[in-house]
Chains A and B, each alone.
Chain A
Amino acid sequence: MHDLKVLASWLDSNEPSYEMLTPSSLPDPCFVLDGREQVSFSTNNYLALANSPRVKARARGARPLRRGQL
């Protein structure tokens, strides 16, 4: 892994600028970032299904059911 060590030390002084956001909630499409609400124009949660009560209820009820039980 000598190549990675060389690259890592190069990165120490040449790190490309990039930003990885760490929000405290996920967009539906509003989310909280650094304690502040943001409206997301970048989420793939197009229909806001990820956070919908119907979907969450179904997930909570999931058990490895036998055929015909769902």
Chain B
Amino acid sequence: MGNCESRLLGGNLELYEQLETKLAALKGKESALIFATGYLTNLGVLTALVRTGHLARAYGYRSPVRWTHEYFSDEYNHISIREGIRASGAPSRSYRHVDMNDLERKIAASTADIRIIVTDGVFSQHGDIAPLPDLLDLAERYDAFVYVDDAHGTGVLGPEGRGTAEHFGVSNPRLIHMGTLSKAYGSIGGFVATDNYVTRILRLGCPAFGFTSTLPPDQAAALLEAIDMVADEPDRRCRLWENQSYFVSRMRDAGFSLPATATPIVPLPVGDEAECARLAAGLRVAGIHVDAITFPAMPLGQARLRFIMNARHTTAQIDQALDTLVMLIATR
């Protein structure tokens, strides 16, 4: 069942290369690399991107220049990004959530030769979308790169479900796409899609790619099918968005104020941790499972119920979730 070899040492099936070709085309890039999980992708790639010169020393490479690097990371980025940046050892600065002024201030003050802005495409706890065109504009002006973790955008956003970049209609050589294969695509794994010269170097210089087992072959095959299905069964995405807008409009009609309504992740701010837990428990009794996002995933006092909409929710199920929520709040 498993692939008991590393990619570099005998475990490189055709199947994986087909998947990488498909993912590269999906993101409009020259090539892609797959990893065992999304977490490992961020950890491995962010660690390796700034250490390629050092890693290539083993092959006899001597860098003509001692390049310096700096990461700029949205404060709400996923933990795997924060851990990857920390493990890289490169200097890094965190900027306030989607705050382009704060980012510009920090990037303008940087003396690094190579600047890499890192952002989630869709923020998993907040349900909002990173302003990719603004980030790319900053990247152009300050000669930076943008690494976008599109875990929740891939398969979901954009006219063809290609992700956050397609949602905005942007494509840019400064853009490095990362995504997961364990969310909309329903399997396991992660990937980066970028230029040939980058993947070529990562293939050799990123230990998280070359020195570990990758996806089991059946999962890689399942993914080839899943990616096709996002394209050739557009009805699934239609229903997802219909359900999302039905839920959002019913929530608004019920008087709830929603901070983010642009993605299938629709959080309802509750505030108090205990109250949030009470609502989640009450919904559970009614057969509705919703995550209560509390400290430490959110700051104390900013607890929220996070609704994630699904293509196969029925109107009756959405109604039941909402009616139960309204009833629970009324009987506080």
Query: Chain B contact residues (Cβ within 8 angstroms of A): what range?
Result: 35 or more
A59 B221 Cβ-Cβ under 8 A: yes
For the complex, is B29 an interface residue (Cβ under 8 Å from A)?
no
With known contacts A46-B155, A49-B184, A55-B229, A39–B313 Cβ distance under 8 A: yes
For the complex, is B289 an interface residue (Cβ under 8 Å from A)?
yes
B240 A47 Cβ-Cβ under 8 A: yes
B290 / chain A contacts, CB cutoff of 8 Å = 41-42
A46 B311 Cβ-Cβ under 8 A: yes
For the complex, is B310 an interface residue (Cβ under 8 Å from A)?
yes
With known contacts A28-B312, A29-B312, A64–B15 Cβ distance under 8 A: yes
* Separation of A43 and B306 alpha carbons in the complex (Å): 11
With known contacts A42-B291, A59-B219, A49–B185 Cβ distance under 8 A: yes
**Which positions 14-67 of chain A face chain B at CB distance < 8 Å?**
21, 27-29, 31, 33, 36-52, 54-67
The A interface, classified by DSSP as helix, strand, loop or mixed, is loop
A41 B308 Cβ-Cβ under 8 A: yes
Residue of B nearest to A52 (CB): B229
For the complex, is B131 an interface residue (Cβ under 8 Å from A)?
no
A46 B219 Cβ-Cβ under 8 A: no
* B221 → A minimal CB distance (Å): 3
A46 B289 Cβ-Cβ under 8 A: no
| A-contact 0/1 string along B230-274, CB 8 Å cutoff | 100000110010000000000000000000000010000000000
With known contacts A45-B183, A58-B222, A29–B310 Cβ distance under 8 A: yes
* Separation of A38 and B13 alpha carbons in the complex (Å): 39
**Which positions 276-325 of chain B face chain A at CB distance < 8 Å?**
284, 287-291, 306-313, 317, 320-321
A52 / chain B contacts, CB cutoff of 8 Å = 186, 229
For the complex, is B82 an interface residue (Cβ under 8 Å from A)?
no
Residue of A nearest to B264 (CB): A46
Residue of B nearest to A21 (CB): B289
A62 B218 Cβ-Cβ under 8 A: yes
For the complex, is A70 an interface residue (Cβ under 8 Å from B)?
yes
For the complex, is B217 an interface residue (Cβ under 8 Å from A)?
yes
* A25 → B minimal CB distance (Å): 12
Q: What residues of chain B have their CB less than 8 Å away from a CB belonging to chain A?
A: 13-15, 18, 152, 155-156, 182-187, 217-222, 224-226, 229-230, 236-237, 240, 264, 284, 287-291, 306-313, 317, 320-321
Q: What residues of chain A have their CB less than 8 Å away from a CB belonging to chain B?
A: 21, 27-29, 31, 33, 36-52, 54-67, 70
What are 30 A-B residue pairs whose CB atoms fall within 8 Å in the complex? A38-B288, A39-B287, A39-B313, A40-B289, A40-B310, A41-B288, A41-B307, A41-B310, A42-B291, A42-B306, A42-B308, A44-B152, A45-B184, A47-B155, A47-B184, A47-B186, A48-B311, A49-B236, A50-B187, A54-B229, A55-B222, A55-B229, A58-B225, A62-B222, A64-B14, A64-B15, A70-B15, A70-B18, A70-B221, A70-B224
